[in-house]
Chain A
Amino acid sequence: MKRIALLGMPNTGKSTLFNRISGASARVGNWPGITVDLMSAKILIGGHIAELIDLPGIYDLHGFSDDEQVVRHFLANNAVDLVIVLLNSSQIDRQLSLVLQIKKLQLPAVLALNMADEAKQSGITIDTDSLAKSLQMPVMQISAKYGDGLPKALQAATQIINQNQPATNPQMISQLLQEDNQIEQEMDALIKHHVQIPTTLTDNTTDKIDQILLHKWFGLPIFFAAMYVLFQFIFTAGKPLQDGLAWILQLFRTHLLAPIFASSPAWFSGLMLDGIYNGVATVAAFVPIIVLFFLVMSMVEDSGYLSRAAFLMDALMAKMGLDGRGFVMMLMGFGCNVPALMGTRIMRSRPMRLLTMLVIPLSLCSARLQVFIFIITALFAAKQAPIILFTLYVMSFLTMFLTALLFQGQYKNAEPFILELPPYRFPTLRQIALRGWHEVKYFLIRASKFIVIGVVLVWAMTNFPTNVPPASVGTLAGQIGALFAPVLDPLGINNQLAIALIFGFVAKEIVIGALAVIYGLQGDALMAHMATQIDWVQAMSFMLFTLIYTPCLSTIATLKSESKSSGFMWLSIAWSLGLAWVVSFVFYQTARWLGH
Chain B
Amino acid sequence: MRFLSQLQIGQRAVIAAIEAEESLFHRLSALGFRVGKPLSIIRRANFNGPLHVRLGTTDVILRGTEAARIQVSIS
Contact = CB atoms under 8 A, between A and B. Distances in A.
Interface in A409-443: 414-422
A126 to B, nearest CB: 13
Given A214-B52, A216-B46, A418-B66, A310 B61 contact: yes
A206 B34 CA distance: 25
Contacts, number: 106
Contacts of A94: 30-32, 56, 58
Interface string B24-59: 101111111010000000110111111010001111
Interface residues of B, number: 29
A312 interface: yes
Interface in A304-327: 307, 310-312, 314-316, 318
B60 A418 contact: yes
A420 B31 contact: yes
B45 A64 contact: no
Given A416-B24, A417-B63, A216 B58 contact: no
A184 B61 contact: no
A414 B43 contact: no
A562 B50 CA distance: 29
A90 interface: yes
- The residue among B22, B30, B32, B63 with the most chain A CB atoms within 10 A of its own CB is B30
A250 interface: no
Nearest to A201: B57
Contacts of A214: 43, 45, 52
Contacts of A315: 45-50
A417 B62 CA distance: 6
B23 interface: yes
A201 B51 CA distance: 20
A190 interface: no
A60 to B, nearest CB: 4
Interface in A511-568: none
A91 interface: yes
A419 B61 contact: yes
B26 A63 contact: yes
A90 B58 CA distance: 9
Contacts of B45: 214, 219, 311-312, 314-315
A312 B28 CA distance: 21
Contacts of A122: 57
B61 A416 contact: no
A59 interface: yes
B70 to A, nearest CB: 11
Contact of A91 (B42, B50, B57): B57
Contacts of A314: 45, 49-50, 61, 63
A168 interface: no
Nearest to B69: A416
A59 B49 contact: no
Given A197-B57, A214-B52, A60 B27 contact: yes
Interface in A174-203: 184, 197, 201
Given A59-B30, A63-B26, A91-B32, 8 more contacts: A60-B27, A63-B27, A63-B30, A197-B56, A216-B46, A311-B49, A315-B46, A416-B66
26 contacts: A63-B26, A63-B27, A63-B30, A91-B57, A93-B32, A94-B30, A94-B31, A97-B30, A197-B56, A197-B57, A206-B59, A214-B43, A311-B50, A312-B49, A314-B45, A314-B50, A314-B61, A415-B27, A416-B28, A418-B28, A418-B31, A418-B60, A418-B61, A419-B62, A421-B61, A422-B59
